[in-house]
């Protein structure tokens, strides 16, 4: 049975659902102690007095660390991938706190309870400083920079221009202008951040057990910042309870734990509580774009200009700061549409808020902006939004190119749009909508298209892109089983299943005889990114396939020598090598592997008895357009009595290339849509004018439950199987979250069209819906 394309149950699920998973908080080591952090209660202020003596005397306390201590024990934290103006920062605050939740001190004690009690004994005095909490204040040249070693609170500026902007606007019949704002949200994985640092003074080995998306990136940054030898630094990541981009970051708390473990020669554990998570783990989104769209009366989109401001919070993310995402936003904003002239000016700003972090498509502002603009253009011109899209979408022909440069050959956006509208019965809905309005009911339909370079066309990733591709190692064990060592570090995506499916097909062994090893920097290939950015479907899969093919070649060469037959005449089926069409001359893989391990000298001349292979996949074997994408459509009903929004239908037409496991793909899509719905209707991180954090519990930060998420109908646009063995898999993890907010806000805007509502803010709780409808 061919595994690729089958709905194989996830191998991870049995241990996780039966309580046998291995998460960081499950780890109990001998002599382990626990850390707690004292965090700033104010947004901006200078520490004028810090007295930790009472805390150091408290029962069960082993150590109390301050910023001065950490400055002596650590180098400044500098990412090797830093972009934009980068300040000097240390694991704990050395002088000035910069947001509510900033790290003032760390207590290490026999238990978390004792550590928390002792942290409460620390006496701190602050001299308040004015808080920078909005775009205008951050842009004011008269406001002192938050970091004294930087020139201003503008961390980065850039301009991307393509096509003939001036000519596009000169040819326009009118220009539609609007400022669109996306609000601040939190990642909220079910497992918060956490780590256990363990140091062996005898060997000098530092081991960090971490809930991370990027074990190798964490190891590299830890070695550089702590000046610890990399050969004696190991990161271990087992099960991770979700991340959504957050745990791709390397956090200041991580360095604190490692420093304490080295100082105390004892394991040190810290598990973030939910209040800490909401307040200080990092926040996502919060951008605004002021855009102008040049259009003809017929609905042709000629040109777009955009001015992007991004609120990066107080500290740069490590290894990727907010700056890294502005380039993707400005590149992709024109999307799959025939724009002739385009310019995007970007600014990244420092404020007294928690750090900007990635969250499932951190460039999603480009999709929300573009798809809202198209609906606004349709409204102003009195045109159907579906027809405006059809009129401007590229076909995906060989010569089609986004105005910013990348080829769009092979994209299927137009097909996805047509199939989505057919599935949701667009024409029939418009008739139903008109009848409902006559009854005083307000229905709306929204649609939105997206494309994502996951991995993108080959021209966007020469020689494997900035990481040089990805490596995997595959080993045939003595019992004939296959072990795959991947550079990926999954946190819910099901890679132990999907990569095993690929390896089983490539090697010709039963799926149950493949094991995937990940998250251990001592045995897995290096990849600074780990898992994120919808990379695994192409890069992790491709690496697994090319490494397994290399191992298969080795096995067939040995078997061919033993059977005195050409390797091309051999096959491997169910773990047995045999001549094609000639039964009775089989060699089980277990026998062959055992022989090569115990008696390598018996290998036929010219063959390699070392039955493992490590290969690097650089993307040359990819097939298809390289673009993931699709179209979502949904129908809503707005209750003008309560402001509530009921989602009645949600249709997804998705093109992510060949599908390895349909059940996993559909789960990824549905999860992303659920998060997008939450982002629009429920979730928001607010700060007041003084920078006070105002969403510290789930009473204030609302999340959707299964009751609020509608059934999600999914249609796949999938190519024929690659006959040449190409890697036609494309990323799917982020698409649902990228496009769902645009789909939903467009539907709500359509429902409120009789009231002249113009939706420019993405957050649409009941009070805002009623305001837009003119009810309050």
| 328 backbone dihedrals φ, ψ, rounded to 5° | -70, -40
Say if residue 537 is in the same domain as residue 581. Answer: yes
365 membership: H or E segment, kind and range: helix 365-381
Classify residue 162: in a domain, yes or no: no
What's the CA gap between 132 and 143, in Å, rounded? 8
Give the CATH number, domain containing residue 202.
Answer: 3.90.1170.50
Which residues, given as ranges, of the chain have pLDDT below 70?
Answer: 721-724
Rg (CA), the chain: 28
Asked whether the beta carbons of 569 and 561 are under 8 A apart, the reply is: no
Say if residue 587 is in the same domain as residue 627. Answer: no
Q: How many domains does the chain have?
A: 3
What's the CA gap between 396 and 416, in Å, rounded? 12
Asked whether the beta carbons of 517 and 483 are under 8 A apart, the reply is: yes
Say if residue 205 is in the same domain as residue 264. Answer: yes
Say if residue 107 is in the same domain as residue 242. Answer: yes
In this predicted structure, what is the pLDDT of residue 721? 63
Q: Are strands 627-638 and 482-486 parallel, antiparallel or unpaired?
A: unpaired
Q: Domain end: 584, 617, 650, which one?
A: 617
For 162, half-sphere exposure in the C-beta direction (CA atoms, 13 angstrom radius) is: 18
Distant-in-sequence, close-in-space partners of 67: CB < 8 Å, separation ≥ 6: 47, 90, 92, 93, 94, 95, 104, 105
- pLDDT, tens only, 527-548: 999 999 999 999 999 999 999 9
Classify residue 745: in a domain, yes or no: yes
Say if residue 375 is in the same domain as residue 470. Answer: no
Say if residue 119 is in the same domain as residue 261. Answer: yes
| Geometric angle at alpha carbon 463, from 459 and 468, rounded to 5° | 125
Distant-in-sequence, close-in-space partners of 82: CB < 8 Å, separation ≥ 6: 316, 318, 319, 321
Say if residue 453 is in the same domain as residue 482. Answer: no
Burial of 614 (0-12, 13-18, 19+ CB in 10 A): middle
Say if residue 694 is in the same domain as residue 739. Answer: yes
Q: Are strands 645-655 and 712-716 parallel, antiparallel or unpaired?
A: parallel
Q: Domain end: 263, 280, 297, which one?
A: 280
Q: Domain end: 617, 644, 678, which one?
A: 617
What's the CA gap between 768 and 90, in Å, rounded? 41
What's the CA gap between 28 and 25, in Å, rounded? 8
What's the CA gap between 123 and 67, in Å, rounded? 14
Say if residue 317 is in the same domain as residue 419. Answer: yes
Say if residue 642 is in the same domain as residue 584. Answer: no
| 669 backbone dihedrals φ, ψ, rounded to 5° | -65, -50
Say if residue 88 is in the same domain as residue 223. Answer: yes
Classify residue 321: in a domain, yes or no: yes
Count CB-CB contacts under 10 A for residue 336.
26
Distant-in-sequence, close-in-space partners of 323: CB < 8 Å, separation ≥ 6: 83, 84, 155, 156, 312, 316, 348
Classify residue 713: in a domain, yes or no: yes
- Token pair for residue 444? 């709306």
Q: Are strands 284-295 and 301-311 parallel, antiparallel or unpaired?
A: antiparallel
Give the CATH number, domain containing residue 687.
Answer: 3.30.365.10
Nearest to 593 by CA among 610, 568, 607: 610
Classify residue 5: in a domain, yes or no: no
Classify residue 167: in a domain, yes or no: no
Three-state DSSP state, 244:
coil
- Token pair for residue 656? 């992510």
Classify residue 101: in a domain, yes or no: yes
Domain of residue 323 covers: 287-458+623-772
Classify residue 6: in a domain, yes or no: no
DSSP 556-581: HHHHHHHHTS-GGGEEEETTEEEETT
Three-state DSSP state, 583:
coil
Say if residue 703 is in the same domain as residue 561. Answer: no
């Amino acid at each position: 049975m061919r595994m690729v394309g089958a709905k194989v149950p996830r191998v991870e699920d049995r241990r996780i659902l039966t309580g046998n998973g291995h998460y960081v908080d499950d780890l109990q080591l001998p002599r382990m102690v626990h850390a707690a952090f004292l965090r700033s209660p104010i947004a901006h202020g200078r520490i004028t007095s810090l007295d930790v003596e009472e805390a150091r005397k408290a029962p069960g306390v082993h150590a109390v660390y301050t910023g001065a201590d950490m400055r002596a024990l650590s180098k400044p934290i500098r990412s090797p991938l830093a972009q934009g103006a980068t300040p000097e920062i240390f694991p704990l605050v050395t002088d000035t706190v910069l947001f509510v939740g900033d790290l003032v001190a760390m207590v290490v004690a026999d238990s978390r309870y004792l550590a928390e009690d002792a942290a409460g004994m620390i006496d701190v005095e602050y001299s308040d400083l004015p808080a920078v909490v909005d775009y205008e204040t951050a842009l004011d040249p008269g406001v002192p920079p938050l970091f004294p070693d930087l020139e201003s609170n503008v961390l980065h500026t850039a301009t991307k221009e393509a096509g003939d902007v001036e000519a596009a606007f000169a040819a326009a019949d009118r220009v539609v202008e609007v400022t669109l704002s996306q609000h601040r949200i939190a990642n909220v994985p079910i497992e918060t951040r956490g780590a256990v640092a363990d140091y062996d003074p005898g060997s000098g080995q530092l081991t960090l057990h971490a809930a991370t998306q990027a074990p190798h990136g964490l190891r590299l940054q830890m070695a550089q910042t702590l000046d610890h030898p990399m050969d004696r630094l190991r990161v271990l990541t087992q099960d991770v309870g979700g991340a959504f981009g957050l745990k791709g970051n390397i956090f200041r708390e991580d360095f604190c734990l490692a420093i304490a473990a080295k100082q105390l020669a004892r394991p040190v554990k810290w598990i973030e509580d939910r209040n800490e998570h909401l307040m200080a783990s990092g926040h996502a989104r919060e951008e605004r774009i002021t855009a102008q769209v040049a259009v003809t009366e017929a609905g042709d989109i000629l040109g777009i200009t955009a001015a992007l401001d991004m609120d990066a919070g107080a500290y740069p993310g490590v290894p990727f700061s907010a700056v890294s995402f502005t380039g993707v936003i400005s590149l992709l904003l024109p999307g799959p549409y025939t724009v002739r002239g385009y310019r995007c000016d970007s600014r990244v700003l420092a404020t007294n808020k928690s750090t900007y972090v990635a969250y499932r498509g951190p460039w999603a502002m480009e999709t929300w902006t573009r798809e809202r603009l198209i609906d606004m253009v349709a409204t102003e011109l009195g045109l159907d939004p579906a027809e405006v899209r059809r009129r401007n979408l590229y076909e995906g022909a060989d010569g089609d190119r986004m105005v910013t440069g990348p080829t769009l050959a092979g994209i299927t956006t137009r097909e996805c749009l047509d199939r989505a509208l057919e599935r949701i019965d667009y024409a029939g809905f418009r008739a139903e909508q008109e009848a409902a309005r006559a009854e005083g009911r307000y229905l709306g339909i929204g649609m939105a298209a997206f494309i994502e370079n996951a991995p993108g066309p080959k021209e966007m990733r020469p020689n494997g892109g900035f990481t040089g591709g990805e490596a995997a190692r595959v080993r045939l064990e003595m019992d004939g089983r296959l072990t795959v060592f991947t550079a990926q570090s999954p946190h819910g995506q099901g890679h132990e299943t999907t990569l095993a499916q690929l390896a089983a097909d490539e090697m010709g062994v039963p799926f149950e005889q493949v094991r995937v090893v990940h998250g251990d920097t001592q045995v897995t290939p290096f990849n600074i990114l780990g898992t994120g950015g919808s990379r695994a479907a192409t890069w992790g899969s491709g690496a697994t396939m090319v490494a397994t093919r290399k191992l298969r070649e080795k096995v067939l060469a040995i078997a061919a020598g033993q059977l005195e037959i050409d390797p091309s005449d051999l096959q491997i089926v169910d773990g047995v090598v045999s001549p094609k069409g000639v039964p009775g001359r089989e060699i089980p893989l277990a026998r062959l592997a055992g022989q090569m391990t115990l008696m390598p000298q018996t290998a036929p001349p010219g063959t390699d008895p070392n039955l493992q292979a490590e290969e690097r996949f650089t993307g040359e074997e990819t097939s298809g357009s390289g673009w993931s994408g699709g179209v979502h459509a949904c129908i809503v009903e707005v209750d003008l009595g309560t402001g509530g929004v009921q989602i009645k239908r949600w249709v997804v037409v998705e093109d992510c290339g060949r599908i390895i496991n349909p059940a996993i793909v559909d789960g990824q899509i549905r999860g992303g849509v659920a998060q997008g719905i939450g982002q629009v209707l429920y979730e928001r991180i607010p700060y007041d004018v003084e920078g006070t954090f105002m969403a510290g519990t789930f009473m204030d930060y609302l999340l959707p439950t299964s009751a609020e998420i509608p059934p999600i109908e999914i249609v796949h646009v999938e190519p024929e199987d690659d006959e040449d063995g190409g890697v036609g898999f494309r990323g799917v993890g982020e698409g649902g979250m990228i496009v769902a907010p645009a789909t939903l806000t467009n539907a709500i805007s359509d429902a409120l069209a009789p009231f002249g509502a113009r939706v420019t803010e993405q957050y649409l709780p009941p009070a805002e819906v009623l305001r837009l409808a003119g009810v309050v």
